[in-house]
Copies of this chain bind each other. A is one copy, B any other.
Amino acid sequence: MSKRISDDDDDVGKEKEAAADKISSGPSSNRVLPYVAHKVGVPPKQSILKEFTAAVKETFFADQPLRSFKDQSNTRKFVLGIEALFPIIRWSRDYNLTKLRGDVIAGLTIASLCIPQDIGYAKLAGLPAQNGLYSSFVPPLIYAFMGSSRDIAIGPVAVVSLLLGTMLQDEVNSKEDNGYEYRRLAFTATFFAGVTQFTLGFFRLGFLIDFLSHAAIIGFMGGAAITIALQQLKGLLGIKVFTKKSDIVSVLRSVFSAAHHGWNWETILIGVSFLTFLIIAKYIGKVRNKKYFWVPAIAPLISVIVSTFFVFITRADKKGVAIVNHIRKGVNPPSANEIYFSGDLLAKGFKIGVVAGMIALTEAIAIGRTFAGMKDYQIDGNKEMVAMGTMNIVGSMTSCYIATGSFSRSAVNYMSGCHTAVSNIVMSFVVFLTLVFITPLFKYTPNAILASIIISAVLGLIDIDAMKLIWKIDKLDFVACMGAFFGVVFISVEIGLLIAVSISFAKILLQVTRPRTALLGRIPRTKVYRNVQQYPEAIQIPGVLIVRVDSAIYFSNSNYVKERILRWVTDEEAQLKQKCLPKINYLVVEMSPVIDIDTSGIHALEELYRSLQKRDIQLALANPGTLVIDKIHASEFPDLIGKDKIFLSVADAILTLAPNNEI
């Protein structure tokens, strides 16, 4: 496929180059060789089956997951397969005390962060507090065995909790029959979220989540953070009657209509002072000194302990400060029998599960990739999905709701010096101890503290720097970002998500429908032809119009491309006429960026050829790529325009068509 030569081979045959030089240096030279254009390569013909296999391989197995399985004995293949499914087997072999030390510290740190968050997030999802803790016990354990990321911290996260809560509340009332039906639907959704994740990974369809653009995710996350923070005003201000809607208008109306009789000053005092404490802690950890990363990590737990103790001493709950009250003691009860496998709620649970599962996956994969990039190891997206799917399926049977990778906790995990997924096991163990021994102690924890913890956690999801960068780099991306953001803030989480996905798709489609075209000119003192808009010094060749098409020519744009090229010709001819310059004899279409063409595209070229014929202009193509030359040769197009009208490069084309103009 590729040959490499040693340096001394480099000097072979410069006849053509020399010939070109001679011609260009004009009459002063005495040896003028006729110029022969280099032929355009046609790749060796492949069989359809081979082509098809290659396409499937590149689409679904781009990362060559089976590479290591090649040329191995069957036993070895089996071992490798087990290792692929449970990466822990491989990395545990060279696990040592140093790593353990880092993992234990990291595990304890994220545990202290996750316990208060879990309780808060469970409330966000409309579920009892213990379900949040359950979800930080079972899923991280399973992930530790199956996952390939070393830094991700698994558990419930704010955005997915909010999304799940909103979607569940649209279907069933969380207050009715003590929330039994609601909880069952939550487990059903979790089950199908897991199934979705597993399926995507197993069938190697992981690339589907790439269709949600970075910009849309930033906007969605930011909007969700604002929505979540606003929802926390209920707890922070001690409001009893609150809207069920999540849009900013309803929430603020609800807040201000409760201002006179619904706010509780003791609650506000506790909430605001601890929120201030948490934000200061965050500031210390982030801005002042990276050494103090642990300050914001343990601040929430300290807040919980201090405030719980304070409420217990002062019995502030008698004065209207809302408290957590009861958290069920003991480990996860089984819930497999509570999942709906039939009836009306099956379909609803399925729908919610698919949406929430995809979002959870998007977040987890983004986190996994970020930290893998920092430590320079590879994670296999599809294998990650299988791990996530398994952990949520098992989770749904053990009273957990959807768990995924948490941005804030993963960052803390990374900074505390975790080495492997053992930190998740440590965290899981701490949560286990909490469930078994100390949950009753959370009875007097004020809701206002949970609200402050959630607010301070989600503020980190609003990534203003990223938004600024998006604005600077790509305006359309920014529209997608803001669309998702305002959709979530002003309408609802689902609508925001829908806007994000739609704009992401529209962007792809728009680019394919209206590709750019450019007029090329020769850059002085070179044989390089470039866009005259980008390189104002570039010089157009008299009698030749060079147009570059910046896209594959497909059915969706073939007609546009044809008409746009003809418009370049018309415009240029009008200009030339005005200036009394010679008319255009040749149109060279630079095909370098034309990465593919289909039947419609070839039709468009044929039509272009015919239209040009009527204006007495010859059509030539420069540098068609592998796919394009293949398809052009399969059609009758080369016979139509003449095989000698397809050139290796624009410079070659000019050298042949307008030899006097070449330098």
Q: For chain A residues 453-483, which have a beta carbon within 8 Å of chain B?
A: 466, 469-470, 472-477
- From B519, B528, B563, B581, contact of A38 by CB (8 A): B528
Q: Are A530 and B5 in contact (CB under 8 A)?
A: no
Given A5-B539, A21-B21, A526-B648 in contact, is the A469-B560 Cβ separation under 8 Å? no
**Chain B CB within 8 A of A603 CB:** yes
- From B52, B508, B581, contact of A475 by CB (8 A): B52
**Chain B CB within 8 A of A99 CB:** no
Shortest distance between the CB of A599 and any CB in chain B (Å): 5
- From B41, B44, B519, contact of A530 by CB (8 A): B41
A contacts with B, residue count (CB < 8 A): 128
Interface string of A497-511 (1 = CB under 8 A from B): 000000010011111
Given the complex, which residues of B lie within 8 Å of A635, measured CB to CB?
A: 469, 472-473
**Chain B CB within 8 A of A611 CB:** yes
- Contact stretch, chosen from A128-136, A211-219, A223-231, A336-344: A211-219
Interface string of A8-20 (1 = CB under 8 A from B): 0111111111000
Q: Are A534 and B214 in contact (CB under 8 A)?
A: no
**Chain B CB within 8 A of A626 CB:** yes
Q: For chain A residues 183-224, which have a beta carbon within 8 Å of chain B?
A: 207, 210-215
Shortest distance between the CB of A121 and any CB in chain B (Å): 28
Interface string of A419-452 (1 = CB under 8 A from B): 0000000000000000000000000000000000
**Chain B CB within 8 A of A554 CB:** yes
Shortest distance between the CB of A523 and any CB in chain B (Å): 6
Given the complex, which residues of B lie within 8 Å of A26, measured CB to CB?
A: 11
**Chain B CB within 8 A of A607 CB:** yes
Given the complex, which residues of B lie within 8 Å of A152, measured CB to CB?
A: none
- From B1, B376, B469, B527, contact of A610 by CB (8 A): B376
**Chain B CB within 8 A of A238 CB:** no
Copies in the complex: 2
Q: Are A509 and B510 in contact (CB under 8 A)?
A: no
User: Which residue of the partner chain B has the closest CB to A535?
Assistant: B41
Given A43-B534, A625-B531, A663-B17 in contact, is the A598-B38 Cβ separation under 8 Å? no
Q: Are A524 and B12 in contact (CB under 8 A)?
A: yes
Q: Are A62 and B11 in contact (CB under 8 A)?
A: no
- From B514, B530, B595, B625, contact of A62 by CB (8 A): B514
User: Which residue of the partner chain B has the closest CB to A632?
Assistant: B473
**Chain B CB within 8 A of A58 CB:** yes
Given A469-B599, A555-B214, A635-B469 in contact, is the A534-B41 Cβ separation under 8 Å? yes
User: Which residue of the partner chain B has the closest CB to A608?
Assistant: B373
**Chain B CB within 8 A of A614 CB:** yes
**Docked pose: A26 CA to B11 CA in angstroms:** 9
**Docked pose: A521 CA to B10 CA in angstroms:** 12
Q: For chain A residues 1-49, which have a beta carbon within 8 Å of chain B?
A: 1-7, 9-17, 21, 26, 38, 41-44, 48
Q: Are A533 and B593 in contact (CB under 8 A)?
A: no
Given the complex, which residues of B lie within 8 Å of A559, measured CB to CB?
A: 210, 369
Given the complex, which residues of B lie within 8 Å of A14, measured CB to CB?
A: 525, 663
Q: Are B474 and A598 in contact (CB under 8 A)?
A: yes
Given A7-B661, A26-B11, A627-B516 in contact, is the A599-B214 Cβ separation under 8 Å? yes
**Docked pose: A509 CA to B59 CA in angstroms:** 12
**Docked pose: A476 CA to B5 CA in angstroms:** 37
Nearest 6 interchain pairs by C-beta: A213-B555, A41-B535, A550-B595, A214-B600, A41-B534, A593-B593
